[in-house]
Amino acid sequence: MIARVAALPREVRQYLLVTGNYWAFTLTDGALRMLVVLYFHQLGYSALEVALLFLFYEFFGVVTNLVGGWLGARLGLNRTMNLGLGLQVFALAMLLVPVAWLSVPWVMAAQALSGIAKDLNKMSAKSAIKTLVPAGDAGHPALYRWVALLTGSKNALKGVGFFLGGLLLTLIGFQGAILVMAVMLAGVLALSLVRLDADLGRAKAKPKFREILSKSRAINVLSAARLFLFGARDVWFVVALPVFLATQFGWDSWRVGGFLALWVIGYGAVQAMAPRITGRHAGRSAAILWAAGLAALPALIALGLEWQPHIMLLGGLLLFGAVFAVNSSLHSFLIVKLARADGVSLDVGFYYMANAMGRLIGTLLSGWLYMSGGLTATLWVSSAMLAATVAISLALPKEA
């Protein structure tokens, strides 16, 4: 097995290493989120206090993607990826202190570091694909497959991480679970420090800090579309949906968590298969068509909630997840395709900054809209944000 891997082209071996890093990080990220939610709920934290634990995690995603892309271009993607792994190990270590020290500010700080680590790792992995795809394959189908595989497998593993967090908490407790994950990730970091190319993704011309804002019209348009796309998902998925399932359907926390974990795994599987679903049609027209189809789904779910809430919500959620996964894969491919070859992480970082901003806006709106108008209000706003995604995508260059 080792000999077969050693015989692979250098680019493929580097891609496998980047993907392995990303997978390991994603498992710990998903598991940590579930551990924090369940453990601190057991300690008697209120729902608001638990939600506050993740506030900085989301906020720092916006900052990290913007600055991280610049760092990746100047220092190399190997360093930003390894920095992300190291910060995650440190964030996990912060949670190994005695229980009496685990105050809300302390855990928020640990989650802030984890959020920074996650986005450094993600930005590095997504940017690295542009530099690792063999020159003859960088045009269309191969690049699309590589991006879809990395993105889809990541989201599937995040769902697995949800299960892993609950399982470890049950078997070895909170601190035991944190220790196991920290040791595992430290081993991955050690391998990455030795094996990952030193100059991976480093720009030939050192970009200035003011260049963190994209000058490319195509990147700006795609980033704006991405902001509304992910805002439309999180505006009903993050807060409103779990609360609705618990209060209106009477599901306990394990059932809610298990269902959402399975949804994320299925979502990731569809993302990985997106090239087979769309075929060679993965440009501007496909992005507009699939976004238009997605825009109708939240509105249809909202209209059907009064008729058959279980069928419409659960069936609609599964369909929404599948269509959203294809949209996400198309966008992920387009950003890697449109990004500049030299200093790719600048464009990718700016794009994922918009992604993080959309998630943050969606999360904040989700709680406020649910309190004022229920799940139906969040679904209508989701549909409107997706319509905005379609409108913005019309401005993408025709050759995209």
Dump pLDDT digits (tens) for 165-192: 878 888 888 889 999 999 999 998 998 8
pLDDT at 75 > cutoff 80: no
Say what the pLDDT of residue 290 is: 96
pLDDT at 55 > cutoff 50: yes
The CA distance from 323 to 300, in Å, is 14
pLDDT at 69 > cutoff 50: yes
Among the residue ranges 11-25, 26-40, 197-211, 260-274, the one predicted with the least confidence is 197-211
The CA distance from 65 to 60, in Å, is 8
The CA distance from 238 to 27, in Å, is 19
More confident site: 289 or 10: 289
Q: What is the DSSP string of 360-398?
A: HHHHHHHHHHHHHHHHHHHHHHHHHHHHHHHHHHTTS-T
Work out the percent of the chain whose per-residue pLDDT is above 70.
Answer: 82
Q: Which phi-psi region, left, alpha or beta, contains residue 169 (left: φ > 0; alpha: ψ -120 to 50)?
A: alpha
* pLDDT confidence tier of residue 138, bands split at 50, 70 and 90: very low
Q: Which range has the top average pLDDT, 58-67, 126-135, 280-289, 342-351?
A: 280-289
Work out the percent of the chain whose per-residue pLDDT is above 90.
Answer: 25
pLDDT at 1 > cutoff 60: no
The CA distance from 71 to 79, in Å, is 9
pLDDT at 257 > cutoff 80: no
* Average pLDDT over the chain, rounded to an integer: 81
* pLDDT confidence tier of residue 338, bands split at 50, 70 and 90: confident
Say what the pLDDT of residue 207 is: 57
Per domain, the residue ranges of the chain are 2-393
The CA distance from 150 to 23, in Å, is 9
Alpha helices (H) in 305-343, listed in sequence order: 309-310, 316-338
Say what the pLDDT of residue 200 is: 61
- Name the superfamily (CATH) of residues 2-393: MFS general substrate transporter like domains (1.20.1250.20)
Among the residue ranges 88-92, 290-294, 316-320, 360-364, the one predicted with the least confidence is 360-364
Check residue 315 and report its DSSP letter.
I
The pLDDT tens digits for 180-232 are 999 999 998 998 888 776 666 555 556 565 555 656 788 899 999 999 999 99
Q: What is the pTM of this model?
A: 0.78
Say what the pLDDT of residue 9 is: 63
